[in-house]
Amino acid sequence: MPMRRLDCGVLGPTPIDQLHIPDGTTVKEHDVVADSDVLIGAQSQLRLGVRGHNVVAGERVSVDGDIEAAGDCRLDMWCEVTGNVLVEGDAYVGERTHITERLVVGGDLDIGDDVDIEEGFEASGWIVIRNPMPTLTFFVMYLTHLLRLGEAEDAQELVEELAADSDRGPLTIPQSASVSDDAWRVSTPATIGDDCRLHGNIRATEIDVGRGNNVFGSLRAQNDVTVGAGTKIHGDVTTRNGSVHVQGDAVVLGDVSGHDVTIDEAADVDGVIRARGEMRVGSVADRDAE
């Protein structure tokens, strides 16, 4: 059947305004693996492959590895993929995108002008050569659905199909981010869910890490940093201007420093604790009683 195209109104700036890593996300064999959708802001550089449900990348995103999408995949113009793009659903590839290996699509393929796929492509469904809907438009529609603000019937229908795992929220990588085995660098806040296993230092304006994570790297922020109960940080936890809170039975295998520092009684810090302001060590019950 023919692929649908939607009319869109006036758009504001990209709504992907933070790094959000949902529950259960892992880094395996140089791939970021999420059980959710993956949204990548424009001009971001990923020195890793990506595996997710629906994978959506903005303009001039580069991915050093394969992209594997269990649902649909949407690449905006001027994207660069050093590897294969394997899609079980439909694929939308913007003009002047470059894929160094193969593009394999289980559904329909909507492809723009001057796309370079070095080892060829195949699609089980329809192939339409035209310029697909800009990914920024798709971002706005997608996140409008997640926030339950959408009123356009056609947009709601499309995005509901592409948001099968929206309860936990997508993995979102903001504009101009840099992600590699060495570091996740963003100029926005960063939120990490529960039960994630990540490689690389986390650099953000503020960082909130959930419970039961294993982070093989350090945390450094300009503002507040929170380390959830049962999380293990293999590195330092530092902030330039904010406070640090190490909760529950979290473990930090490094130094902790901030303006105000709070360490729960059951937490373990294997390093030096530095506080320019107030330092508190005790149980949650002790603090609530004060």
In whole angstroms, give the CA distance from residue 193 to residue 212: 9
Please state the rounded mean pLDDT for residues 111-122.
Answer: 93
61 CB-near residues (< 8 Å, 6+ apart): 40, 41, 42, 43, 44, 45, 46, 75, 76, 79, 80
Residues 289 and 273: beta-carbon distance below 8 Å: no
Q: Among 119-133, 199-213, 267-281, whose mean pLDDT is lowest?
A: 119-133
Nearest to 118 by CA among 95, 94, 105, 102: 102
Cβ burial 110-149 (10 Å sphere, 16+ → b, else e): bbbeebebeeebebeeeeeeeebbbbbbbbbbbbbbbeee
> Is 272's pLDDT higher than 90?
yes
- Sequence ranges of the domains in the chain: 37-161, 189-289
Question: Residue 14 gets which letter from DSSP?
Answer: -
Averaged pLDDT of the chain: 85
> Is 154's pLDDT higher than 90?
no
Q: In sequence order, what DSSP letters do the residues of 206-220 get, joined into one string? A: SEEE-SS-EEES-EE
Cα-trace Rg, the chain? 21
Three-class SS of residue 10?
Answer: coil
Label residue 4 exposed, middle or buried (CB < 10 Å: 0-12, 13-18, 19+).
exposed
The whole-number pLDDT of residue 3 equals: 34
22-54 per-position pLDDT tens digit? 999 999 889 999 999 999 999 999 999 999 999
> Is 176's pLDDT higher than 80?
yes
